[in-house]
């Protein structure tokens, strides 16, 4: 995780100390800032973290983003957490890190995007305020909200007093959401949800359990044929995998020999030409998963049904 900051860095500190607890799902490899004088950088340095600072003043936004991006990649980060980073990231930067940039925002989104959120909540007469962790998209504070924490507004609250309590909530929420989000590639329930969504997009497909595993068939309930199974560490393997049909045993053996990090030969199914596509691994290509599902589906689907997919692909 790389953390981008502009000021005091209290949320960065909360993320850092949570990352050092037993069982933490992430580590911070870089703290970077557009403000070379940010107090957060001094704290990060004192804690032994790598830092990078580049003043954005006088720089084109895209050029500054590109420099930050280079530093982040050189540090080996897989995700970015914005923690009081007071620069709007440009579209190229957001697109390069799509789905891997998180932000903590001091309001209950979609209420009060942008600045002065506590003032807006008080002026609106709200009885609760809070904070939101969301994915960063091209539109400001408009990405999917991953979690929120609420904070009561007292009759005597000022912007400052409300901000102090919301900040405490932020420190509790951010690290928990980050841990859960980056752990998804090893979460069987999340992986199954994504496989199910992709499989059921294929024409005339339905789900049926087989030998304790979720499976997907094409065709009718009576005569449908299986084209994929979800296997969660079955038969002693460490893998969470998608089982799909290959074209031949030679292809199966070739995949396993040349890409052992991505494929394995599943017990029982492997003898019939099924390969295990390993899901719980870094850098999983979901487009590639979708292509394997479609290919396996085509291998057993009736010709009349495959034409439905061909027509859909044309559009």
Residues classed as catalytic: 105
**Coil, strand or helix at 29:** coil
Quick one: three-class SS letters along 244-299?
Answer: EECCCHHHHHHHHHHCCCCEECCCCHHHHCEEEEECCCCCCCHHHHHHHHHHHHHH
Beta bridge partners of 278: 241
Nearest to 302 by CA among 242, 207, 223, 247: 223
Residues 100, 101, 104, 110, CA torsion sign: negative
Token pair belonging to 306: 């495959």
Quick one: three-class SS letters along 143-199?
Answer: CCEEEEEEEECCCCCCHHHHHHHHHHHHHHHHHHHHHHHHCHHHCHHHHHHHHHHHH
Angle between helices 10-19 and 159-182 (to 10 degrees): 30
């Amino acid at each position: 995780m790389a953390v981008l900051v502009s000021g005091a860095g209290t949320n960065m500190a909360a993320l850092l100390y949570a990352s050092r607890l037993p069982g933490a799902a992430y580590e911070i490899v870089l703290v970077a800032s557009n403000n070379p004088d940010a107090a957060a950088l001094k704290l990060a340095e004192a804690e032994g973290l790598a830092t990078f600072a580049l003043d954005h003043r006088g720089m084109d936004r895209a050029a500054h983003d590109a420099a930050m991006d280079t530093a982040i990649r050189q540090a080996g980060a897989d995700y970015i957490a914005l923690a009081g980073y007071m620069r709007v990231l440009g579209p190229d930067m957001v697109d390069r890190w799509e789905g891997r940039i998180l932000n903590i925002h001091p309001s209950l989104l979609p209420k009060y995007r942008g600045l002065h959120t506590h003032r807006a909540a008080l002026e609106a007469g709200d009885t609760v305020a809070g904070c939101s962790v969301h994915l960063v998209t091209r539109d400001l504070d408009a990405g999917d909200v991953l979690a929120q924490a609420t904070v009561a507004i007292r009759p005597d609250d000022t912007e400052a007093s409300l901000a102090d309590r919301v900040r405490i909530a932020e420190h509790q929420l951010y690290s928990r959401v980050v841990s859960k989000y980056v752990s998804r590639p090893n979460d069987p329930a999340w992986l199954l949800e994504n496989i199910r969504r992709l499989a059921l997009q294929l024409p005339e497909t339905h789900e049926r359990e087989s030998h304790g595993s979720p499976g997907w068939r094409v065709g009718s309930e009576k005569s449908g044929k299986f084209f994929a199974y979800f296997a969660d560490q079955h038969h002693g393997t460490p893998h969470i995998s998608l089982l799909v049909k290959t074209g031949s045993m030679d292809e199966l053996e070739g995949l396993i020999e040349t890409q052992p990090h991505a494929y394995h030969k599943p017990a029982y199914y492997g003898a019939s030409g099924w390969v295990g596509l390993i899901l719980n691994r870094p850098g999983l290509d979901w487009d590639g998963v979708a292509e394997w599902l479609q290919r396996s589906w085509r291998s057993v689907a009736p010709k009349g049904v495959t034409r439905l997919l061909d027509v859909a692909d044309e559009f």
